Amino acid sequence: MADTTLPFGTFEGTDAHEFVPGVWLNAVGGEQVLLCKVTYEPGKEVPRHSHDQTEQVMYILEGEVTITIEDETRSLRAGDTVVINRGLEHELHSGPGVTFMEALAPVPLDHVPDRERDLVLGPDGGATHVER
């Protein structure tokens, strides 16, 4: 996302940010929603956590990931989706590796690698964004 004065950008040629060891993301957000492309290296996981103020919607592009939301566990593959409502505890693990797109709203600033590069802000300047 080279120029945040314009609403157009690309993840191509943009280095991904290592969110946690072995989990990489590219992100672009506006005032109310963040879109991330997330890649897990084989065998990587994100431990149990919740987003108290943010809802998360995921679409699996390739690979496989096991997701536990509260006490229900499912394996997801390419074409599958999941909605994680705010406040629900969840964890993710990918044995073979996975790439997915996720949308989060409102924007959780801990998922934004570079606020100058990755946010396109309008008149409210990101007033609805949330810190963890």
CB-CB contact of 27 with 122 (8 Å): no
d(CA 109, CA 130): 6
Task: Classify 7 as helix, strand or coil.
Answer: coil
Question: Is the bond leading into 108 cis (omega within 30 degrees of zero)?
Answer: no
pTM over 0.85? The answer is: yes
pLDDT tens for the 132 residues of the chain, in order: 444 456 888 888 889 999 999 999 999 999 999 999 999 999 999 999 999 999 999 999 999 999 999 999 999 999 999 999 999 999 999 999 999 999 999 999 999 999 988 999 988 889 999 987
